[in-house]
Amino acid sequence: MNGHDGAVRAPYEAVKSWLDRTPNEILDLKTAAAEGLFRRLGVTFAVYDDATAGAERLIPFDIIPRVLDMAEWEQLSAGLDQRVRALNAFLHDVYHEREFIRAGKISEEKILMNPAFLAEMQGLDVARGLYTHICGVDIVRTGASDFYVLEDNCRTPSGVSYMLENRETMIRLFPELFSALDIAPVDNYPIALFETLQEAAPARAGPNPTIVVLTPGRYNSAYYEHAFLADEMGVELVEGPDLVVENGYVFMRTTEGRKRVDVIYRRIDDDYLDPLAFRHDSALGVAGIMAVYRLGNVTLVNAPGAGIADDKSIYPYTPEMVRFFLGEEPILSNVETWDCSDPAQCSHVLANIEDMVVKNVHGSGGYGMLVGPTSTKEECAAFAKIVETYPERYIAQPTLALSTSPTYVDQGVAPRHVDLRPFVLSGETTRIIPGGLTRVALREGSLVVNSSQGGGTKDTWVLRGVKADAS
Amino acid sequence: MLLTLRHSTTYSYEGVAAQIVQILRLTPRSHEAHRVLDWRVSRSDGGALPSYTDGLGNICHLSSVRGPADAVTITAEGRVETDDVQGVVSGAAEPLPPGYFLRTTPLSAADDVIADFARETIGARKDRTALYELMTAVHARISYVPGQSDVDTSASEAFAAGRGVCQDQAHIFIAAARALGIPARYAGGYVWPGEEASSSQDFASHAWAEAFTDDAGWVGFDPSNGVWTTTAHLRTAHGLDYRQAAPISGVWRGAGEEDMSVDGTIQAVESSQ
Amino acid sequence: MLSRTAMNHYWLARYVERTDYVARLLDSAARMTALASTGVAAGNEWESLLVAAGCKEAFDAVYDKVTSERVIEFMTLDPNNPSSIASAMDQARANARVERAVLNTDTWAAVNDTWLARDVVENARSGPDGLREIVDWVKSRANAFRGAWEGTMLRRDSYQFIRLGLAIERADNTARLLDVKYHVLMPKHDPIGGGLDHAHWDSILRAATALRAYQHIYREAVKPRQVIDLLALNPEMPRSIRAAYDEIAGGLSALSTFYGGRTGEAQRLAGSTHARLKYATVEEIFDFGLHEFLEDMVARTDRIGAAIQGQYMS
């Protein structure tokens, strides 16, 4: 909320004055009311590590919004649009001519040997040449206009339902703020998503393609979101066994017989999508669906194999993708990243390991990761040994001075570190809903915003101004 | 040589199948060694078999049967003229660079024993002659014994056992070549067994391997026969391993058990050119 | 609608109806036991309950002897008994949760609120009037569900699949309830002690919330043939097999209309059973054999359930 000089940043003035006149007792009541709303709506996520499988938990919700003004948002959204266009162009190239490799921008091995590269996608001309139709880009901020991309999520990014429910909850709890302030709406996301999916349909599907959302089922941690989006779009939420491949098409089983499906917004990982193409023990997927995809009779959204664009080992190359495919200078910066497979970069990492975050390129979450500044000398030394042995498996980044946002915690209102995941929809045009999902590290000083490790969420406001008739 | 072939695979179901979905990789493509004169894949119930090319360049058919079905037969038949090119696979559809075929898979991963065997056999050489020696070594080391392994047997399991069928021998060769940094892949198809043996009882799909040599590009090696591929070999599909190149892979839903039987003929006539 | 969605609606309804039925069985058994202490032998009331709930075998697999405490535990909380109130609530909610996108807010909330408050069952059990409290709560939650469904859901296919689930479960339950006591309902039955028989009839009527209805319709002391008339054949009595079949036939006919006039095995079977119930008399049932009649009803209902699944859910 505060700028580097300690003053309240302009977009936060309205929030500041609201907080100043609202006693903590009211904030407590509102926090409890928000929790009740989430629970009643069933906005929960399943956790696997609990004693009882499929137990449900709420992600903590912070009632103080995170605020961006229009100028900040416009800069950010231009950068997002540019970045996702480059990622899609890169994906098309990776699965066709591989000019990016030919031009010497990246080694062939980095692409072809990457598990996220799927030979099954080679040479397939997907509708509109789009691979990541729904992309979640994780953004952090270190200064007034310093936005960094921490990670791209080109596969099946989740969290958009929290963005929508958070806003809905805020409107219910604080209607007076919404009547006084001109906050850009987010509730048109489902319509934008629906249009994006329609535009992704195979040409032969006709003007009214049948769209479905494919979920792994109710034990999936994001099941609520799958159901929510299907409901909001008015399309069927299907599971693998609801779909069947017949005569070169995908059909769903309905009470009135088989119905052809044209676009599948799948929230199942590549590996489980088709037991005939990928993991043959998968019971979640649909046998033969990749063959139908290659026949051009169905569109899978996002495309299988899109993960090659968001892989940690590919991330350092994204600014170059923007230059190479778009001929533009990147608007959003990458966090400086050292690639340990390069000997010179590796020795820099080893020399400075105590100040760095070192990540396993194919790992996710906290596994195989070192946060130098919070580790002991021994831990750093031990990790350095592993990096020396398997340099190609690691990248390293400096620890960033992340921005904070005022958050209501047990001790009252206090600054906590935040990141932002805006959602970029690519179809005939690019659609970016103003805002996104703000995740907040609720523990003091923590940089970990992940919901599985004590992170919460906030509503994100893109503030267009103060309404004229409000006083 | 002109190869004339008919190959039928029948799947029968003890109970009934409610649903069968299969990918058929049964169609050869023309390249320098093969001229496909005519070829047809069909199903006993006359059902449509839409065709597409997979990411590796194989021609595939998608077969789906809506039950109840108690049996279904897939037949591939046609004529292909083959030329003697000493195993060289040239002019084939190659959508992926050789580097892709350095990837390992559970079936074709080399363990230390296979890697040592490969190094001791050909050292750092990557030419066609060296790979021929590697193939000969696999042929000598792994005896052809049917019935001891199955489609899930890995290269290292078969190598430790010292025996297997053509699939196992191919996997071992591939694992050994890749352990030396030489791209290698699994190739499936048919082989004409010679005048004496060409009765339908002896008919079977065959498997071998291809390695990317630094002097001749892709070359086919048949470790089970101890030769490079000849005019008797008819190639229909390739992939990282059996799983990616299997002639038919499928799933079915229903009660009871699935049973498979194969029937067919292959005849050869010397071409007059 | 997805076949699986239809199946989830159908089973959601069956499980809600089952909680209601089990609660009523427990209530009636407890009452019989209480009467036993005032001089009327309770007989094997708790064992009958297990049979009526179709849980006898599952119970015997766990326990060697029937006691009231064990049966209450088994039928209220036991997570391993799929027909216990707690299990049925879990199943109902699980089916509803999958259909969160299709169910309207009120119907979902009715199921979810029940599930969120399910600790009532466990907490009340130890209280002085525990069972009473559980029974009242479970009945009121089932009523809340039916109210939300009836009052707020669009009369589309989803509504009809819930209607069918409720009605199929109810037809099955009532037939089983009567069958457990068929021996005391036989006309040739020689009363051992009027008090005991009266208590049996009374308990059946209570389990079906039919005691008042009986007085209104027959205006005389409880007699077996009237009990059969009321619970098997009377269309005015919501828990009668006949009334359940009015719903089954009605639901299937509505589905057929909704799906453009297509009918199948389910409509045919339901039509013939519905007609049988419409034109049957109590005398005819006794001639056929009461037990045989009730067994036949259970079997027919089962076949219709299977036909519904085959026709709409595969």
Provide the domain count of chain A.
Answer: 2
For chain A, what is the mean pLDDT? 89
The pLDDT tens digits of the residues spanning A299-317 come to: 999 999 999 999 988 999 9
What are the strands, taking DSSP E only, across C98-223?
none
Residue from A303, A310, A306, A308 nearest A153 by CA: A310
Average pLDDT (C265-281) is 96
pLDDT over threshold 90, residue C96? yes
Q: Decide if A121 touches B, using CB distance below 8 A.
A: yes
Distance in angstroms (rounded) separating the CA atoms of residues B102 and B96: 12
pLDDT at A50: 40
Token pair listed for B3? 């190869």
Name the pLDDT band for A470 (thresholds 50, 70, 90). very low
Could you report the per-residue pLDDT of B59-75, keeping only the tens digit for each?
A: 999 999 998 899 999 99
Domain match, A180 and A211 both = yes
Phi-psi region of C12 (alpha: psi -120 to 50; beta: other; left: phi over 0): alpha
Q: Chain A: nearest CA to C312, how far in angstroms?
A: 4
Mean pLDDT on B157-168: 93
Using the predicted structure, report yes or no on whether residue B272 has a pLDDT greater than 60: no
User: Does A36 contact chain C (CB < 8 Å)?
Assistant: no
Both tokens of A312, joined, read 């940690």
pLDDT band at A44 (very low <50, low <70, confident <90, very high): low
Say yes or no: A322 and A411 in one domain.
yes
Which residues partner with A134 through β-bridges? Answer: A425
Task: Round to whole Å and give the CA distance between B209 and B175.
Answer: 10
ipTM metric: 0.94
pLDDT in tens, B144-153: 988 888 889 9
pLDDT per position as a tens digit, A106-123: 999 999 999 999 999 999
Domain-ending residue, one of A398, A418, A438: A398
| Extents of the domains making up chain B | 2-269
Instruction: Grade residue B203 by pLDDT with cuts at 50, 70 and 90.
Output: low
Give the span between the Cα atoms of B155 and B205, in whole angstroms: 19
Min Cα–Cα distance to chain A from B61, Å: 8
Q: Do A253 and C102 lie within an 8 Å CB cutoff?
A: no
Give the number of residues written for chain B.
273
Place of tokens 């769903």: A252
Rg (CA), chain B: 18
Say yes or no to pLDDT of A172 above 80. Answer: yes
List, for residues B211-234, the tens digit of each pLDDT value: 999 999 999 999 999 999 999 999
Fold designation for B2-269: C8orf32 fold (3.10.620)
Chain C residues lying within 8 Å of A252, measured CB to CB: 2
Decide if pLDDT at C235 tops 50: yes
Let me know if residue A4 belongs to a domain: no
Positive or negative: CA dihedral A314, A317, A322, A323: negative
Alpha-carbon gap: A94 to the closest alpha carbon of chain B (Å)? 11
Question: What pLDDT, in 10s, does the model give residues C133-153?
Answer: 899 999 999 999 999 999 999
CB contacts under 8 A, C 198-257 vs A, are 255
Range of the domain at A381: 336-398
| Per-residue confidence band for A366, with pLDDT thresholds at 50, 70 and 90 | very low
pLDDT-wise least confident of A26-40, A445-459, B103-117, C18-32: A445-459
More confident call, A291 vs C98: A291
Q: Is residue A5 part of a domain?
A: no
Name the token pair of A197. 């999916």
Band (pLDDT 50/70/90 cuts) for residue A52 is very low
Task: Note the pLDDT of residue C192.
Answer: 46
Q: Is the pLDDT of residue C193 over 80?
A: no
Q: Which amino acid is at B73?
A: T
CB A64 within 8 A of CB A405: yes
Cα–Cα distance, B215 to B194 (Å, whole number): 31
Q: Distance between CA atoms of A21 and C158, rounded to whole angstroms?
A: 49
Nearest by CB to residue A294, choosing from B22, B54, B99, is: B54
Same domain as A462, residue A413: yes
Check which CATH number belongs to the domain holding A386 and give it.
3.30.1490.270
Q: If you compute the radius of gyration of chain A from its CA atoms, what whole number of angstroms results?
A: 23
Lowest-pLDDT range of A381-390, A423-432, A461-470, C43-52: A461-470
Predicted confidence band of residue B255 (pLDDT cuts 50, 70, 90): confident
Separation of alpha carbons C16 and B256, rounded Å: 35
Q: How many Å from the N-terminal Cα to the C-terminal Cα in chain C?
A: 12
Shortest CB distance from A227 goes to which of C3, C100, C314? C100
Report whether pLDDT(A4) > 60.
no
- CA-based nearest residue to C141, from C109, C167, C100: C109
| Domain-ending residue, one of A358, A378, A398 | A398
Residue A101's closest chain B neighbor by CA? B97
**Cβ pair A255:C3 closer than 8 A:** yes
Strands A211-214 and A356-360, by their bridges, are unpaired
Put simply, the answer to whether A122 touches B48 (Cβ < 8 Å) is no
Pick from A24, A65, A242, A205: which is nearest to A127 by CA?
A205
Strand-pair category, A412-421 with A404-409? antiparallel
Residues A296 and A168 in one domain: yes
Q: In this complex, do B55 and A120 lie within 8 Å of one another by their Cβ atoms?
A: yes
pLDDT over threshold 70, residue C194: no
Q: Which of A378, A398, A418 is the last residue of a domain?
A: A398
Is residue A179 within 8 A of residue A457, CB to CB? The reply is no
Q: How far apart, in whole angstroms, are the C-alpha atoms of residue C314 and residue C308? A: 10
Instruction: Give the pLDDT confidence score for residue A238 in this predicted structure.
Output: 94
The verdict on a CB contact (< 8 Å) between A255 and C98 is no
Domain boundaries in chain C? 1-153, 154-314
Give the model's pLDDT for residue C182: 79
Kindly list the residues from chain A whose CB atom is less than 8 angstroms away from the CB atom of residue B21. 245, 276, 287-288
A413 shares contact with chain B (CB less than 8 Å): no
Phi, psi dihedrals of residue B46, rounded to the nearest 5°: 75, 10
Q: For residue B75, which of B266, B267, B264 has the smallest C-alpha distance? A: B264
Residues A299 and A358 in one domain: no
Please report residues of A whose CB lies closer than 8 A to that of B48.
247-248
Cβ neighbours of residue A409 closer than 8 Å, sequence gap 6 or more: A416, A442, A444
Do A324 and A196 have their domain in common? yes
Q: Is A235 in the same domain as A249?
A: yes
Tell whether the model's pLDDT for residue A335 goes beyond 80. Answer: yes
To the nearest whole Å, the CA of B198 is away from the closest chain A CA by 33
Does residue A418 surpass a pLDDT of 80?
Answer: yes
Co-location of A234 and A365 in the same domain? no
Least Cα separation, residue C159 to chain A (angstroms): 13
Q: Establish if A3 belongs to a structural domain.
A: no
Residue with tokens 């992170």: A455
Chain C within 8 Å of A254 (Cβ-Cβ)?
Answer: yes
